[in-house]
Every structure is written in structure tokens, then in C-alpha cells.
Amino acid sequence: MPENSKRFALNSQGSSFDGMVEALTGAFGSFNAEPVDRHSDFRWSIDIATCEPATLITGYHEHPFQFQVNTTENTSEYLSIVFPRRGGMGVQHGSSMADANPTSMLIYNSLEADLVKFHGQSSLIDELLLDWRIVHKTIAETFDLAPKRSLELLAQLDVATPAGGAIANLAEFMIVSIRNNGPLTQCPLAMARIMQALTDLVVRLVPHRLTFLLEKKPSAIVPWHVRRAIDFMYANIDLPITMPTIAEAVGVSVRTLEIGFRAFKETTPNAYLQLLRLRAAREDLLNADSHQTIQMICLKWGFVHFGRFSAVYKAHYGESPSQTRKRIFRPSGDDL
């Protein structure tokens, strides 16, 4: 995928596989590619159009091939929505594999594609890329958490199904607008709203690691001051913020904030902030790559008394922090 860049455009074509690899390396960074079968001629073309924070890639490949991207800290992360017009495209992530053809689409996280395969002769693929930060924000607003682990989003959807059709309609509208430099590209606010609506549909309709939480989510419309307070909590979750600080940042009184949280979140602002910090601590405890001790994680998220942290944690998750830490190599469907 393109390296971090505000504006990016590329229109290129050729007749050799090595030429394609050379051209795409300059655009996407280092990757390993190989044809399924060797051919003397390998006609290809690629067109890239950007309307931040969305990018449309249209690729034509005469013969099947596969590739692996060598990601770096500068490689951008995208929500990728793929529409094969001819041929097909498959993505592998770990032991999971999803494959799409002209009657379906592929949805995945671009950084989690261990292997990408293009099928069929003269394949033609449209790939819509949305900045993953939009997905992260949508997850936070939908589930009231900021996940640090993989969303495990890799799915093939039939465009004839209600869920597939709803996502495809919005995505196709964006594709046409970006490709033809339509009016939507001249209206950033409208584009942002379309992208947000599309991301909302993906988060709610495409299976992923947090899908089971949708059944537990209340349907009440949260008022603006509660929503803004939650955003402030997320942005400053690792700082010693107080309720007066939050109320001042939002522009309401502490009492108004209390009433709003009790009415729409069925808890107090203090308790809600503690819950966010508990979830953040659990994310760290479940991170197998983390070398932090439980005490370090406890202090990191504002719990100055380890005994109280352990008691609150166990009351909420049904196990102690040390028990969570001991099973980080044993996946569980209840881990957030």
C-alpha cells in the first residue's frame, strides 16, 4: 500500500512482470512478488486516484500472481474494500483466507495481509482504501473502547446479500466519485460523512473480533456533551484528569455531566473513566509482546493502589490480573 503521503497519484502500465514489480515498488514500498506461471509477456496497468483520506486503486494483470508486502513503520494502515471486476483476489492472514470474485467483495486490514493472490486471466480489480484511523474512531464510538489488538477483520461478502449490498452501494458511489473526480471530491465534508457511514456499516455488518458486543450495546442516542466527554476521556486516558477538568473541557457543569452519564450510560463519569482504564489495562495484560509487570500496568493507567485495582479488576472480569497475565497465550472469546 502507498507509504504515508497527503497526495498520491500514479498511472502506469507495462508488458513485463519485472517491470510491474519495479514500478510498484516505488509506489508501495518493498514487496515480494512472483507469477503463478512464467510468461514471456505480462501486460499490466495500474491507476491510483486519491481523495483524502480515501484512495482508489484500479489494477489490470494479464496473468495470475501473488505478493507479500514488507511493511515498515512508515507503511500506512487501511481498511481495504476490494471489488474484482474480472478474475478474483484472495487475502491470507495467519490461518484465515478470504477470496472474492465478480459477485462478491473482499474486506480486510491492509497491514494484516500476509499474502495477496490475484486469480484468473486478464483480472481487473478495484480496491478502495480508507484510512484505518476512521475505523479506530468508529470502534471507539460504537463499543466505548480503544482496541489495541487486531480486529481480525477479513471477510468475503456476497454483494447480493442485504449486508453486502448496503456496503457495496456506498463503496461503489465513492469509487465512481473518486475515479471521475465527481462533485463529491470537491466537498470534503460530504466525503467525510460518506466514509463514516461506510465504516459504520463495515463495523456493524462484517464479522470481526468485537461483533459479539453489538448485542450488548444500548440503542439510546447519547447527547453531545456525554459523547464529547467520552472523547476527552479517550484522548487523556493516561493523564490524571478529574471530573471538573472534563466538565470544563466539554463546556457544561459537573452536575449536567453526572445527569447525562446516569441517564445514557447508567453510571457516573468517574466510574465510566475507571472502566475505560480497566479495559486499557486488560489490553496491556493480554499483550503477549509486553514486558511490563502488572504493577507497572496498574500505575500506567492511574490505579495507585494495587490491591484495589486487583479487586475492581476481578469484580469486573471474573479473574485477577495475574490470572489474565498467565493465560495470554491461550486465546479466549471474552478478551476485548
33-37, 164-168, 250-254, 289-293: least confident range: 289-293
d(CA 200, CA 98): 21
76-80, 107-111, 219-223: least confident range: 219-223
Share of the chain above pLDDT 70, in %: 91
Query: CA 79, 217, 267 angle in degrees (round to 5)?
Result: 120
Q: Is 192 helix (H, G, I), strand (E, B) or coil?
A: helix
How many domains does the chain fold into? 2
Task: Cite the DSSP H helix spans in the chain.
Answer: 17-28, 132-143, 162-179, 188-205, 224-235, 243-250, 254-264, 269-285, 294-300, 306-317, 321-326
Whole-number Cα distances in Å, 244 to 85, 139, 239, 257, 291 = 55, 27, 14, 10, 35
**Are 29 and 124 in the same domain?**
yes
Cell of 7: 497526495
The reply to whether 335 falls in a domain is no
Those residues with Cβ within 8 angstroms of residue 252's Cβ, 6 or more apart along the chain or in another chain: 225, 260
CA 296 to chain CA centroid, Å, is 28
Query: Are the CB atoms for 90 and 97 separated by under 8 Å?
Result: yes
Does 302 have pLDDT greater than 80?
A: yes
Each residue of 88-97: pLDDT tens digit? 999 999 999 9
Each residue of 10-19: pLDDT tens digit? 688 999 999 8
**Are 285 and 191 in the same domain?**
no
Residue position matching grid coordinates 490461518: 95
pLDDT at 149: 80
Those residues with Cβ within 8 angstroms of residue 323's Cβ, 6 or more apart along the chain or in another chain: none
**Are 32 and 148 in the same domain?**
yes
Each residue of 202-250: pLDDT tens digit? 999 999 998 888 876 554 557 788 889 999 999 999 898 999 999 999 9
Query: CA 64, 67, 73 angle in degrees (round to 5)?
Result: 155
The reply to whether 306 falls in a domain is yes
**Are 26 and 115 in the same domain?**
yes
Whole-number Cα distances in Å, 327 to 64, 95, 150 = 42, 21, 18
Residue 102: CATH number of its domain: 2.60.120.10
Domain span holding position 16: 10-205
Residue 274: CATH number of its domain: 1.10.10.60
Does 5 have pLDDT greater than 50?
A: no
Query: Are the CB atoms for 64 and 36 separated by under 8 Å?
Result: yes
Q: Which residue, 170, 205, 240, sits at the end of a domain?
A: 205
**Are 194 and 299 in the same domain?**
no
The reply to whether 219 falls in a domain is no
Contacts by residues 208-217 (CB-CB < 8 Å, ≥ 24 positions apart): 208/151, 208/152, 208/153, 208/155, 209/147, 209/149, 209/150, 209/151, 209/152, 209/153, 210/139, 210/143, 210/147, 210/151, 210/336, 212/333, 213/143, 213/336, 214/142, 217/142, 217/143
Torsional sign, CA 176, 163, 101, 61? positive
Cell of 112: 494484516
**Are 46 and 128 in the same domain?**
yes
Cell of 109: 486490514
Q: Which residue, 178, 205, 232, sits at the end of a domain?
A: 205
Upstream peptide bond of 53 is cis (omega within 30 degrees of 0): yes
pLDDT at 291: 83
**Are 239 and 159 in the same domain?**
no
Those residues with Cβ within 8 angstroms of residue 219's Cβ, 6 or more apart along the chain or in another chain: none
Each residue of 250-265: pLDDT tens digit? 999 999 999 889 888 8
Mean pLDDT of the chain: 87
Does 124 have pLDDT greater than 60?
A: yes
**Are 124 and 184 in the same domain?**
yes
Query: Are the CB atoms for 257 and 225 separated by under 8 Å?
Result: yes
Antiparallel, parallel or unpaired: β 104-109 and 78-93 = antiparallel
The reply to whether 252 falls in a domain is yes
Higher pLDDT, 87 or 180: 87
**Are 56 and 159 in the same domain?**
yes
Q: Confidence band (pLDDT; 50, 70, 90) for 335? A: very low
Does 191 have pLDDT greater than 80?
A: yes
Query: Are the CB atoms for 191 and 184 separated by under 8 Å?
Result: yes
